[in-house]
Amino acid sequence: MTPEGSFHSNNMAAFCKGRSRFKRVLLQQTLIRNLSGKFDYDLVVIGGGSGGLACSKEAAQFGKKVAVLDYVEPSPKGTKWGLGGTCVNVGCIPKKLMHQSALLGTAVKDARKYGWNIPTPVSLDWATMAEAVQNHVRSLNWGHRVQLQDKKVQYLNVKGSLVDEHTIRGVSKAGKETIMTAENIVIATGMRPKFPADVPGAAEHGISSDDLFWLKESPGKTLVVGASYVALECAGFLTGVGLDTTVMVRSIALRGFDQQMAGLVTDYMDSYGTKFSWNCIPKKVEKLASGALQVTWDDAGPRGENRETFDSVLWAIGRAAETGMLNLEKIGVALQKESGKIILADNEASTVPNIYAIGDIGKDRPELTPVAIKAGKLLARRLFGASRELMNYDNIATTVFTPLEYGCVGLSEEEAERRHGKDGIEVYHAFYKPLEFIVAERDASQCYIKVVCLREGDQPILGLHFTGPNAGEVTQGFALGFQCGATYRHLLETVGIHPTCAEEIIKLNITKRSGLDATVTGC
């Protein structure tokens, strides 16, 4: 036999031996479970993101035996990270820190107007910023591992999939298999960025948000493809730290958000220095001999086909549900065909009674970290405590951390009008100038507040929208009012804190219907 034939035979023998062992272990586990009615764990959570960690720790508080399976599949560029999921590693946390870095750059410019003597030019060292951000993320990774250990939750760095409704197969990076059983299983694997399959060179030469926050060197001149909040946030802080940045938009920005507010956000970004290519569809990405990336795209306008070179191309065109490798459909878990998301009942249950899902992986669930955390905690309390409380998915506040931040809670004006009719709603609004902008002589023409109300009675508030400094902090406070049934009358009865941007909300008195000038003048 040739050496090649011998190698092939040995490999096949090892594969068959491994498969035989897997079947033997699985049979033993199934027999033990069927005969004793006992499981290795009360709960196994597949996915170590914010929701999965919250659910597992909450379950352990009830004295239950819990395990978390988490494995990060490297991005196409090879980027990987530790425990904590998207938010900690490649989402909310590093995004907010880099956004803060960009805000500091703006503050330096403002400071000169206040009399600070700051030498010019001022520039950012990407490597220093990236190292500081990445070190903080690593500290969070470690902190999550310590918390699991303290709460006696077993953490397994393995890729989990389902064998049957109570059996999980875990595979380590080295290929070692672990079989375990659980009375209850929670899927919390989240989503990962998509690359377009119809654009040659997109995945080969491009990056996603999974890579951006772990770059050691500056991405340089960057094309951001997409107009989601991820796209605009990334483009915003890249512009803010001094990089030439262009956003390529197929149709509209911030789909699903109030479109008047979306226009204000992109108008501000445009004046801030971010370039926009509207109604454009990328066709291919090619790497030139110089190392630059040449992007070819179709322009719906008169220019037709265009080409330009960039140092980096960041794809932010949406995210795909991480359900493909879990074997869910084989055991009866129903998925939405288009998205691959798990179809869930109000109590987060899938179509298999003991299998649940939380977070982005669930159909019609808001793709927000605090939502996954709260849903995970409530699920654990229902499974192992005396609680019957369900997650309330209505009126969840959020903020887009673009250079001019946009916070909102409740319905967009378009959705309110669709539900109640144009004559059934009243919209109070104002253009205001933050005190922070005045001495700095910054343009405040996109700083705007809109409160959408029912027109009847005390005018219950349906939606609140705010663009301006610290939008997240402002919106979080008013979000509490939504849980208490806030009305426009409640706003009028509230005394403001002066001088703040938030107080402008409780001073609203001009309606869109009136046609009057909504610009705030004076205190």
Which residues belong to the active site? 498
Report d(CA 236, CA 272) in Å as an integer.
9
Report d(CA 384, CA 362) in Å as an integer.
21
**Contacts of residue 198, Cβ cutoff 8 Å, sequence gap at least 6:** none
230 is in an annotated binding site: yes
522 is in an annotated binding site: no
376 is in an annotated binding site: no
Q: 411-414 — which CB contacts under 8 Å span 24+ positions? A: 411/452, 411/462, 411/463, 412/257, 412/258, 412/259, 412/261, 412/452, 412/463, 412/465, 413/258, 413/260, 413/450, 413/452, 413/463, 413/465, 414/258, 414/259
Strands 293-299 and 159-164, bridge-based pairing: unpaired
150 is in an annotated binding site: no
- CA distances (Å), origin 387, targets 359, 380, 382: 20, 9, 5
Q: For 29-70, give the secondary structure using H, E and C.
A: HHHHHHHHCCCCEEEEEECCCHHHHHHHHHHHCCCCCEEEEC
281, 226 Cβ separation under 8 angstroms: no
160 is in an annotated binding site: yes
258 is in an annotated binding site: no
* Angle, helices 126-150/92-113, rounded to nearest 10 degrees: 140
To the nearest 10°, report the CA torsion of 264, 268, 274, 275: 60
Element counts in the chain: helices (H) and strands (E): 15, 21
What Rg do the C-alpha atoms of the chain give, in angstroms?
A: 26
227 is in an annotated binding site: yes
The number of angstroms, rounded, from the C-alpha of 499 to the middle of its chain's C-alpha atoms is 33
229 is in an annotated binding site: yes
- CA distances (Å), origin 458, targets 186, 412, 416, 496: 43, 20, 17, 20
Three-state SS at 164: strand
361, 190 Cβ separation under 8 angstroms: yes
Q: Residue 338 has which token pair?
A: 């288009």
Report d(CA 249, CA 252) in Å as an integer.
7
Burial class of residue 324 in the structure, from the number of CB atoms within 10 Å of its CB (0-12 exposed, 13-18 middle, 19+ buried): exposed
124 is in an annotated binding site: no
Burial class of residue 217 in the structure, from the number of CB atoms within 10 Å of its CB (0-12 exposed, 13-18 middle, 19+ buried): exposed
Q: Residue 429 has which token pair?
A: 């609004």
228 is in an annotated binding site: yes
To the nearest 10°, report the CA torsion of 145, 341, 226, 310: 60
Report d(CA 436, CA 103) in Å as an integer.
13
64, 55 Cβ separation under 8 angstroms: no
Amino acid at 165: E
Report d(CA 48, CA 1) in Å as an integer.
48
Q: Which segments are annotated as binding site for NAD(+)?
A: 226-233, 318
Residues within the annotated binding site for FAD? 96, 160, 360
Which residues sit in the known binding site? Answer: 96, 160, 226-233, 318, 360
